[in-house]
Amino acid sequence: MGKTLIKGGIVVTMDPKRRILEDGAVLFEGNRITAVGETSSLEGGRDADRVIDASGHFVIPGLINAHNHMYSMLSRYMSLTLGEIRGRPFGERLTRWWWPKIEESATHGEAYRGTMLAACEMLRRGCTLSGDLLEGPNMVPGGLEHVARAFKEVGMRGILSFESSERISAENGQLGLEENANLIKKYNNMEDSLVRGWMGIHTPFSSSPGFLREAKAIADELGVGVQTHIAQSEYEVDYIKETFGAKGSVYHLAETGFLWPKLVAGHCIYIDEGELDLLAEHDVKISFNIKSNANGANGLCPVPKMMERGMTVGIGTDGINIMDMFELMLHSAYHIRLGYMNRELIPAQTALEMATVNGAKLFGIDDELGSLEAGKKADIVLIEYAGKPHLNPFEDIYSVVAFGARGPDVNKVFVNGELVVDDGRLTRVDVEKVVAEAWEQGKDYKRRIEATPISPPWKLPTV
């Protein structure tokens, strides 16, 4: 791909010194950044094959979405009837309505077209990598390959998992473990693959302790981590207390041997101080999914207490509404400030760290992504601020980037050195075709959702 010089922009490096270069430049060759510095002094840029004038733009690392369910984008704006579940607690709505209707009625068509739709939206808005958990016991075998296909076609990075569980049966749980292992073996040793696999576990309450230990053993053998959900609802915690006799979700996982640094956990809302200490002791990584938690009226993850303990916290959209990481940075900071009644919490620099360097640390790829530094992969986003009332005037660059900018302000996106968004348009795919196919798939999906009855109260069949 030759040498590319991006020059004259405000470069927000997110490097260890958190340098901001007000007349900065980034030089990359192929898919690797070779130099970052002031435009006037950057060596090696004179013979660049391509020069991009970034004046009037912020230049930032690609944004990282820590937790998502992209297939579900087809159902986000549907008019669906809750019936007898309306007004019931979250856990009952999850197990009796969401599981059968949204997850169990989903097919490989939703896996591909829902992911295509979400990937187009996220990449267009500056998100270059997303962790993603494919849901639904009927997605296996084979569902993850459809998700991977969408990521590759759009040109976006993905850490992909299937939500393995025994909530249907032990046999379905084994299919889920095999689904994850097969994707990991196919892609993780592939040079410059945009897609990588991780093990996925649904929740601590929808699998037996033996199943959780088996999943961890496979992940350890394959050298990957596990994506999961922990303590999203009071229902989960109560179920674990009643079924397994543990004091809470994290205590249960500690007793099971399922806490370690390669565990990335979404939510972590209903946990006490002892559980916070356990998470910190085992260096568990956290995805703060505020839009999902606010939408479901679930509660607030104790992010400030996690940060006080030195834990790594990223942010995730969790399949809710608009896939805009800029919007999510603002929501994440302001909800924490409101919840703790403290306007000093989550300053703009911290919010941007959560969406960049912390996201990379979550997945153990901070040696490759998360900041603009020589030697790292060329995942780069240009945000146009010139002439835009909502982004001018400014002095606090972190504030205007993290809290002022929005996805539509993104002008260019590079992933792995390839220009995948140019002048706000995706370069690899026909977006109109993607949207048209999503409409047709969505109509079929809704018919299946409406035909699926609400389930009776659920119990784990393997204990």
Place of tokens 């849901």: 135
pLDDT at 397 over 90: yes
Per-residue pLDDT at 304? 98
Residue 320 has pLDDT above 80, yes or no: no
Task: List the single range of 81-85, 130-134, 212-216, 225-229 with lowest mean pLDDT.
Answer: 81-85
Q: Is residue 400 scored above 90 in pLDDT?
A: yes
Pick the closest to residue 148 from 100, 107, 180 (CA basis).
180
* pLDDT for residue 321 is more than 80: no
Q: Considering all CA atoms of the chain, what is the largest pairwise distance in Å, rounded to the nearest integer?
A: 68
Whether the predicted pLDDT of 42 surpasses 90: no
Average pLDDT over residues 442-463: 93
Superfamily of domain 3-62+370-426: Urease, subunit C, domain 1 (2.30.40.10)
pLDDT at 90: 85
Q: Is 301 left (phi over 0), alpha (psi -120 to 50) or beta?
A: beta
Model confidence at 83, pLDDT cuts 50, 70, 90, reads confident
Give the amino acid at 96: R
Predicted pLDDT at 41? 86
Contact between 356 and 329 under an 8 Å Cβ cutoff? The reply is no
Closest by CA position to 135, among listed 162, 168, 107, 170: 162
Write a three-state SS string for 140-197. CCCHHHHHHHHHHHHCCEEEEEECECCCCCHHHHHHHHHHHHHHHHHHCCCCCCCEEE
Mean pLDDT of the chain: 96
Q: What is the pLDDT of residue 67?
A: 97
- Which candidate, 1, 63, 58, 50, places its Cα nearest to that of 24? 58
Residue 296 has pLDDT above 90, yes or no: no
pLDDT category at 9 given cuts 50, 70, 90 is very high
Tallying the residues shown for the chain, one arrives at: 463
How would you classify the pairing of strands 63-65 and 127-134? parallel
Q: Is the distance from CB of 396 to CB of 323 less than 8 angstroms?
A: no
**Ranges in the chain annotated CATH 2.30.40.10:** 3-62+370-426
| DSSP secondary structure, 5-49, as one string | EEEEEEEE--STT--EEEEEEEEEETTEEEEEEETTT-TT-TT-S
| Contact present, 180 and 141 (Cβ < 8 Å) | no
Is the pLDDT score of 71 beyond 80?
Answer: yes
Q: Alpha-carbon distance 157 to 141, whole Å?
A: 22
Instruction: Report which secondary-structure segment, H or E, holds 3.
Output: strand 3-12
Q: Does residue 322 carry a pLDDT above 90?
A: no
Mean pLDDT, residues 347-361 taken together: 98
Q: Report the pLDDT averaged over residues 295-304.
A: 94
Distance between CA atoms of 52 and 39, rounded to whole angstroms? 12
Report pLDDT digits (tens) over 375-385. 999 999 999 99
Q: Which residue has the higher pLDDT, 84 or 25?
A: 25
Query: What are the DSSP calls for 242-290, one per residue?
Result: HHH--SSHHHHHHHHT---TTEEEEE--S--HHHHHHHHHTT-EEEE-H
Edge-to-edge order in the sheet of strand 285-288: 199-200, 226-230, 263-267, 285-288, 313-315
Taking residues 187-193, report their average pLDDT. Answer: 95
pLDDT for position 46: 74
* pLDDT tier for residue 319 given thresholds of 50, 70 and 90: confident
> Residue 410's pLDDT is what?
98
pLDDT at 168: 94
User: CB–CB of 173/463 below 8 Å?
Assistant: no
**Predicted pLDDT at 87:** 86
Spatial distance between the Cα atoms of 356 and 378, rounded to a whole number of angstroms? 13
Question: 233: pLDDT confidence band, cut at 50, 70 and 90?
Answer: very high
Mean pLDDT of 23-49: 91
Give DSSP secondary structure letters for 63-100. EEE-S--GGGGGGTT-----GGGTT--HHHHIIIIIII
pLDDT in tens, 237-292: 999 999 999 999 999 999 999 999 999 999 999 999 999 999 999 999 999 999 99
User: So what's the pLDDT on residue 124?
Assistant: 98
Name the phi and psi angles at 412, rounded to 5.
-135, 145
**The predicted structure's pLDDT at residue 165:** 97
CATH topology of domain 63-362: TIM Barrel (3.20.20)
Between CA 366 and CA 156 the distance in angstroms is 17
The span from the first CA to the last CA of the chain, in angstroms, equals 55
pLDDT band at residue 81, thresholds of 50, 70 and 90?
A: confident
pLDDT in tens, 52-66: 999 999 999 999 999
The whole-number pLDDT of residue 256 equals: 98
> Closest Cα partner for 228 from 66, 115, 119?
66
Residue 44 has pLDDT above 80, yes or no: no
CATH 3.20.20.140 residue ranges of the chain are 63-362
